[in-house]
Amino acid sequence: MGVHVPEEYGGSGSSFFNAMIVIEELAKTDPSVSAMVGIHNTLPVSMIIDYGTEEQKLKYLPRLCSDSLASFCISESGAGSDAFALKTIAKRDGDHFLISGTKMWITNSGEAQVFVVFANADPSQKYKGITCFIVERSADGLTVDKEEDKLGIRASSTCQVHFDNVRVHKSAILGEYGKGYKYAIECLNAGRIAIGAQMIGLAQGCFDQTIPYLQQREQFGQRLIDFQVIFEIGFEFLIHKCSGFTTSDCTS
Ligand SMILES: Cc1cc2nc3c(=O)[nH]c(=O)nc-3n(C[C@H](O)[C@H](O)[C@H](O)COP(=O)(O)OP(=O)(O)OC[C@H]3O[C@@H](n4cnc5c(N)ncnc54)[C@H](O)[C@@H]3O)c2cc1C
């Protein structure tokens, strides 16, 4: 859960590249587990590594490498691809902020203990008011409900998260005030690589399950793999995946 978290904060001290390999390998067997680990590592955990204060890193990273999951909360019903259209606000109240709004489709939110939340602290500045906060699940006013009934990756929770005047101290700001839009762009770029790793692992897992079946199942008096169309699809896949393969490798 902390593949690229430095060892001094309880992580494995490995690289972002290796985190992608972990995500790919998990997806070969269970894309839900891969989604859980992928989002956790590449979005909320990465944000705390990259933008957290020393105090925030010491407070959250050891937990997030051991017994707690994290969620990344940016999307809303009217803010999907156009993430900066978000309507969640963070109203200043002295040294505190009051966060109000509803986030949608939040991965890991069914179990997460820590939420990295994007809210606009100054809507007059439009997207330049977007600020990122770290919020604990135990915060008064934070509720998680309506788990989406998804077609796939069903063991990965995807829920709505409501913030009803959730009071957080200004020390909960992650990075700089008003820089949330910049952090979101950078993190989502990394998140897309993780989704790619997940999809490659899933495709490989399907392929690995399919080949033995095609070699064993017989119809019309021959193995399925011996039908020309099936052989050619498999051959194309191998050519794209492993440029070192030869025709005889595929035949065998
Ligand atoms: C399983 C799952 C997990 C998720 N987890 C999280 C999470 O952990 N945290 C979080 O914050 N969000 C999460 N999301 C939300 C996700 O980020 C959004 O679904 C995504 O940003 C797309 O938004 P949308 O679904 O509203 O689609 P829309 O933005 O409404 O897009 C609908 C379609 O229109 C296309 N489209 C949109 N804009 C353009 C354009 N300018 N040009 C051409 N085509 C366009 C899109 O490509 C898409 O095909 C999750 C979603 C899913 C399905």
Domain boundaries, the chain: 7-194, 195-251
CA 78 to centroid of ligand 1, rounded, Å? 10
CA 185 to centroid of ligand 1, rounded, Å? 14
- Ligand 1 atom nearest to CA at 118: 11
pLDDT of 98-155, one tens digit each?
999 999 999 999 999 999 999 999 999 999 999 999 999 999 999 999 899 999 999 9
Half-sphere CA count of 132, side-chain side, radius 13 A: 27
Q: At what angle do helices 16-29 and 180-216 cross, to 10 degrees?
A: 40
- Ligand 1 atom nearest to CA at 156: 1
CA distances from 178 to 81, 87, 138, 252 (A): 20, 15, 25, 59
pLDDT of 73-95, one tens digit each?
999 999 999 999 999 999 999 99
CA distance 161 to 174: 19
- Residue ranges of alpha helices (H) inside the chain are 16-29, 31-40, 46-51, 54-64, 180-216, 228-241, 247-251
Averaged pLDDT for residues 153-167: 97
In this predicted structure, the answer to whether residue 245 has a pLDDT above a threshold of 80 is no
CA 177 to centroid of ligand 1, rounded, Å? 25
Q: Which residues pair with 159 in a beta bridge?
A: 106, 147
Q: Is the CB of 166 under 6 A from ligand 1?
A: no
pLDDT of 183-231, one tens digit each?
999 999 999 999 999 999 999 999 899 989 999 999 999 999 899 888 7
CA distance 57 to 75: 25
In this predicted structure, the answer to whether residue 244 has a pLDDT above a threshold of 60 is no
Superfamily name with CATH number, domain 7-194: Butyryl-CoA Dehydrogenase, subunit A, domain 2 (2.40.110.10)
Which residue's CA is the closest to the ligand 1 atom numbered 7?
Answer: 106
Which conformational region is residue 98 in: left (phi greater than 0), alpha (psi within -120 to 50 degrees), or beta?
A: beta
Q: Is the CB of 39 under 6 A from ligand 1?
A: yes
Looking at the chain, the number of H-run helices and the number of E-run strands are 7, 9
Mutate to test the pocket of ligand 1, among 37, 75, 77, 88 (most ligand atoms within 8 A of CB): 75
Q: Would you call 145 exposed, middle or buried from its count of C-beta atoms within 10 A (0-12, 13-18, 19+)?
A: exposed
Q: Is the CB of 80 under 6 A from ligand 1?
A: yes
Of residues 48, 51, 45, 88, the one with CA closest to residue 70: 45
Max CA distance (Å), the chain: 79
Least confident of 7-21, 129-143, 227-241: 227-241
- pLDDT recorded at residue 18: 96
Averaged pLDDT for residues 55-60: 98
Q: Is the CB of 194 under 6 A from ligand 1?
A: no
- Ligand 1 atom nearest to CA at 43: 8
Give me the DSSP letters along 177-229: TT-HHHHHHHHHHHHHHHHHHHHHHHHHHHHHHHHHHHHH-EETTEEGGGSHH
- pLDDT recorded at residue 252: 47
Tokens linked to 94: 């002295």
- Output DSSP code: residue 164: E
